[in-house]
A and B are shown apart, each in its own frame.
Chain A
Amino acid sequence: MKDRLLPYWLLIPAFIIVLATTIYPLAYSFITSFRAWDLTKSRRPEGFVGLDNYIYATGESQFLNSLWVTFIFVITSVILTVILAMALALLLRRKGPMHTFTRIILILPFAMSPALIGVSYRFMFNPEFGVIANGLGAVFPALQGVPWLADPNLAMGILVLTDVWHWTPYMTFMCLGGLASIPRETEEAARIDGASNLRIIFGIILPQMRGVILVMAVLKTIFALKMFDQVVTLTGGGPGTSTETLAYFIFNVGFRWFDMGYASALAWILTAIMMFISIWYVRMLLSERKMATA
């Protein structure tokens, strides 16, 4: 009897921690999303307002803009990260001292703090003294003095660049793990049959990597939806509102405007988007397994 209950007793501390740090805040914020709460006037949430906060969001231009900006950012950063990670993994899967060394230094971008990445890139793209800005200007004179972060499209491009640079190493290692599980015999057989490298990649490797690519895409989508640090340190949501993602907008609503009820509602809208993606992924994965076992 004691042996049967022991695992549950041992789980209790972890459960308490999860309850305190995850479940309780989630539940509290969910309830707050249905209440009015102006932090400048009250330390505690005020009266219930039903769906007012959610309805207000649907008509607010800044929220709708942040949704669009987030959509653009997520799509571009996910696609670029997945493609780049896959390409790097294919290059690095052979053995050798250079490949080992490259794998080691590849982890550096991922080890950096996202906020530091944003600050660094802001300096590097400064037209007056930035190393990238001036380097590009030296190689391509037409690019000298270009205000990279002052143009809405270029600013979004650099934001995507920092995110891709940050996450590609992590995704590359996921791909390397997936590639290691592919039987070599299928590739060798294809080579013997005269298949080119490109044909092998697209005809044999990628189909077998489908599950890994799906996991990468879903994880990267969730990470991109939550991305916040680089927006704060690199662009501040600007120029204008061109890089004001939903996560950054929620921060402004909660901690600059002090409208905690509305911020909670926006946070749950973002959560709902991520939950939808996760549920969709699980269904895709389960349907694949059903087909595989059928």
Chain B
Amino acid sequence: MKILTSAIAIAASLYGAQALAWEATEGRPFEGQTVNVLAVKSSQFEAHEARLAEFEEATGIDVVYDYVPFPNMKEALTTEMVAGGDYDVVSVMDQWVHSLQMLMEPIGPGIEAQGTDLSDFPAAHLRHGMLDGELIGLPVRGHVQLMFYRTDILEKAGVTPPQTWEEMVTVAKAIQENTDAAGVALPYGKLNGQNLMVWMNLLWGNGGDLFDADGNAIFNSAEGVAATETYISYLTEEEIVPAGSAVFVEQDAVTSFKQGNSAMLPVWWWVRSQLSDPEQSTLTADQIGFTALPSVAGADRTTFTNTWIFGVTAESDNKDAATEFLGWLTDPALERDVLMDPDLSEVVAVHMSNLTDAEVNERWGGMHQAAADALATADGVEFGDNWPRIVLILETAISSLASGEATDVKAVLDAAAEDIAAIR
């Protein structure tokens, strides 16, 4: 299943109208209860927390947030799954859902009672809240990939934003010839599969895929080898990335861009909120442009997606109150309020009604419509139970090639395929 063109996604993108707003359950039946939330550290979720007064007043439910930095989030969720009982609501990244399935409680009937309009979620995000046909979480944070670039540097180099990966090499070299910046910041280092997030677009763009319908690895096909060679060549042959990129994780690449050392950055769109933040970036808003992620010449555009769902824990003693909270948290009006807050730079949206909203797009320069378009053709991966181990094998393979520890791309991918097949 390469291109996700579900009827829901198309219908939702055409719908464009504001979904129904959340309303508290009549009679405040959960008054006095406390909902404990375990969330990954994110300014978006902090913005939600700052708006809790409205929910708490309407329902009488107290909500307490605990944040964990991303690198430690999986361990925190694992502890909660094994030891259990401390949290009622958790945020889980899409790739972890299957391996943390014992943590989550089905919420279908409860969410239906909340009046949540599931059709307002892009299918590419909503699918990650489904497990064995049951709804176990709702998307609250969802990402597509965009290519951010320095408008001033590209202008100085006399080039325009690339539309294909091939053009990206030409543009990057022109930048390096005319300025002091590196052409493009890319991650090749190991951290939760971050060095796979651009690589997979090249894989799909070259006509390859990770697995076939029977679950056998096919990333070591001729197409997969070509895609991998291309990705590695940016570092080893074309030399259009910063020195040290072989161990860059995503945040290193973002930092390189923010510090003015790289001119282009293919990354998740949420990063936009920090690119012109004066507390962490040397850049101003007018120096930053964006375009869709490049495609392989002659091929359809693809983008990998990343989704964070919020769900109710199986060990929660306050499941109904937690579901009530989820209903409020996934209200598109809440999301829109954060998007339009002039004191914030939050761009993340998972509701089609907001992605296609004219005022939202006016504020963010059309980025959300671009995201909606990308979501319509977004590719997905079936994250099974063994996905964490598969990620480790694949990211190690990419890292080995990037560092020069190994040079034969075919041999490395074949070895990775064997290791994956040998997973018990």
Contact = CB atoms under 8 A, between A and B. Distances in A.
Contact of B189 (A40, A127, A238): A238
Contact of A147 (B75, B101, B244, B261): B244
Interface in B79-95: 81-82
B243 interface: yes
B53 to A, nearest CB: 37
Nearest to B256: A128
B244 A150 contact: yes
For chain B, which range describes its interface: under 10, 10 to 19, 20 to 34, or 35 or more residues?
35 or more
Interface in B178-197: 189-191
A150 B249 CA distance: 12
Tell which of A41, A149, A235, A236 has the most Cβ of chain B within 10 Å.
Answer: A236
Interface in A134-168: 145-152, 155
B396 A252 contact: no
Contacts of A129: 259
B404 A126 contact: no
Given A128-B259, A236-B191, A151 B78 contact: no
A128 B242 CA distance: 8
B242 A238 contact: no
B424 A242 contact: no
Contact of A239 (B75, B246, B419): B246
Given A127-B243, A239-B247, A150 B402 contact: yes
Contacts of B402: 150, 239
A252 B392 contact: yes
Nearest to B246: A150
Interface stretch (A19-27, A95-103, A255-263): A255-263
B259 A238 contact: no
Contacts of B191: 236
Nearest to B401: A240
A150 B389 contact: no
Given A128-B261, A255-B78, A256-B74, A152 B396 contact: no
A36 to B, nearest CB: 8
Interface string B243-257: 111110100100010
A40 to B, nearest CB: 5
Nearest to A53: B424
Tell which of B82, B101, B243 has the most Cβ of chain A within 10 Å.
Answer: B243
Interface string A241-284: 11000000000100111110010000000000000000000000
B16 interface: no
Given A128-B261, A239-B246, A239-B247, A152 B403 contact: yes
Interface in B380-423: 385-386, 388-389, 392, 396, 399-400, 402-406, 419
Interface string B50-67: 000000000000000000
Given A40-B100, A239-B399, A149 B247 contact: yes
Contacts of A126: 244, 252
A6 to B, nearest CB: 38
Interface of B: 74-75, 78, 81-82, 98-102, 189-191, 242-247, 249, 252, 256, 259, 261, 385-386, 388-389, 392, 396, 399-400, 402-406, 419, 424
Given A56-B424, A126-B252, 11 more contacts: A38-B385, A42-B102, A127-B243, A128-B242, A128-B259, A128-B261, A150-B244, A235-B247, A239-B189, A242-B405, A255-B74
